A = this chain, B = another copy of it.
Amino acid sequence: MVSEAMRQLGAQGNPMRVLFEYGKQREAIVGPENVFDFALGNPSVPPPARVNEVIREIVNGPRADAIHAYTSAAGDLEVRRTIAGSLNRRFQAGCRGEDLFLTAGAAPALCACLKGLCCPGDQFMVITPYFTEYRIFIEGAGAETVEVPAAEGTFLLDIPAIEAALTPRIKGIVINSPNNPSGVVYPRKNLKELGALLRRKGREFGAPIYLISDEPYREVVYDGVEVPWVPHCYENTLVCYSYSKAISLPGERIGYVLVPPSMEEHDAVYQAVAGAGRCTGHINAPSLFQQVAAACDGMVSDLTAYTVNRNLLYNSLTEMGFTCVKPEGTFYLMMKSPEPDAAAFSQRAKELDLLFPDTGSFSCPGYVRIAYCVPTSRVEQSLPRFRQLAEQYGLQGK
């Protein structure tokens, strides 16, 4: 009677959230101190103090009631101009407020881009490993998903592999740097090579190939690594952003699509994004948090805890004999499963109350993803369990 595809999506939930729910139940049995939940990317560091200050100023000020009124469908123009100004200062983005379409987080931003661009028969390319929901968003927009693996070992963009997979049916490519789950940041050279490829193939096919750059982790990086401004590497880029991770506001649903002035047929692309937002009920991002976004764009939560956690986990796990990808950004660490079946490895960890998903749902078998956006004390307390796990697999510690 109902859509069976939708029912299944609703019944399953995403695997990280399923594991997270298991953790809650398990905590009730063995106590929260004995469950080590590395499942969900829910930021553990507080938002910058300015976030709640802005809210206080507004609800105590002369706009206290008016703030809750409708804004324009794309978001308040003054807010969009303020954000554009911040992007221009930080990245020399050269954009205007009118290029931004505010959304309730990155998920609707991606959905609006995909549905706005998608014509019958279109496909979108994703780079494995990729965030589980991309496939669902792509299929929800009526398109098909084409997977291309990242370069082995480095997890960077594999330009020859992308070239080999490009056909005129590929309307666009979704990339995500800093990457969930690998933690890798694409360097400028890698992105420029992608840009050159897409430009060349777009000319060959007679239609632009769009790059959809999903950037919720843009500011969550370590050791001062550069996160290049993607539209500078390729003009036909749509930037999808969320304030969820950089300023720890995942529940409030605030983000944007930027259609930069460099985009071919800019106005048609912007209108298509706005139209897709309209027909899925995604207009007028939450108004109070539009103001928060304007006031806090470019701010970053104190990332010290993530940095400490990253170093502690990476160093400890490699010392125990595990093989890990060193994260340059995000708060995820990808670790190779010591047995071929990473789901079995994740299950064995679960028996020690170490909760982290294998990356099968990211279309990347053989790994697990450890979300270390948790208090450092929890990482410290988890290490003996990881050591037990290493011993079970007979790993050779250093």
> CB within 8 Å of B: which residues of A?
1-11, 13-14, 17, 40, 42-43, 46-47, 51-52, 55-56, 59-60, 64-65, 67-73, 104-105, 107-111, 115-119, 133, 136-137, 139-140, 207-208, 248-253, 264-265, 268-289
Query: In whole angstroms, how far apart are the Cα atoms of A250 and B286 in the complex?
Result: 9
**A104-B286 in contact (CB<8A):** yes
Best-buried of A17, A115, A272 by chain B (most CB within 10 Å): A272
Query: In whole angstroms, how far apart are the Cα atoms of A47 and B68 in the complex?
Result: 8
Shortest Cβ distance from A265 into B: residue: B1
**B1-A268 in contact (CB<8A):** yes
- Residues of chain B contacted by A269 (CB below 8 angstroms): 1-2
**Partner pick for A285 among B6, B108, B253, CB 8 A cutoff:** B253
Known: A2-B117, A6-B273, A108-B281. 20 other contacts (CB 8 A): A1-B207, A1-B208, A1-B264, A2-B116, A3-B117, A7-B271, A7-B275, A9-B274, A10-B276, A10-B277, A42-B70, A51-B68, A105-B281, A107-B281, A109-B281, A252-B286, A253-B253, A253-B287, A281-B282, A286-B286
Instruction: Enumerate 23 A-B pairs (CB-CB under 8 Å) in ascending A order.
Output: A1-B268, A1-B269, A2-B119, A2-B265, A7-B272, A9-B276, A9-B278, A10-B274, A10-B277, A13-B73, A52-B59, A56-B59, A68-B251, A104-B104, A104-B282, A108-B281, A111-B279, A140-B280, A250-B284, A251-B286, A251-B287, A251-B288, A253-B287
Q: A11-B275, A116-B10, A252-B286 are in contact. Are A46 and B65 (CB under 8 A)?
A: yes
- Residues of chain B contacted by A119 (CB below 8 angstroms): 2-4
- Residues of chain B contacted by A280 (CB below 8 angstroms): 108, 111, 137, 140, 280-282
- Min CB distance A27 to B, Å, is 16
- Residues of chain B contacted by A289 (CB below 8 angstroms): 286, 288
Best-buried of A60, A250, A282 by chain B (most CB within 10 Å): A282
- Min CB distance A371 to B, Å, is 12
Query: In whole angstroms, how far apart are the Cα atoms of A288 and B47 in the complex?
Result: 14
- Residues of chain B contacted by A67 (CB below 8 angstroms): 251
- Min CB distance A43 to B, Å, is 7
- Residues of chain B contacted by A1 (CB below 8 angstroms): 117, 207-208, 264-265, 268-269
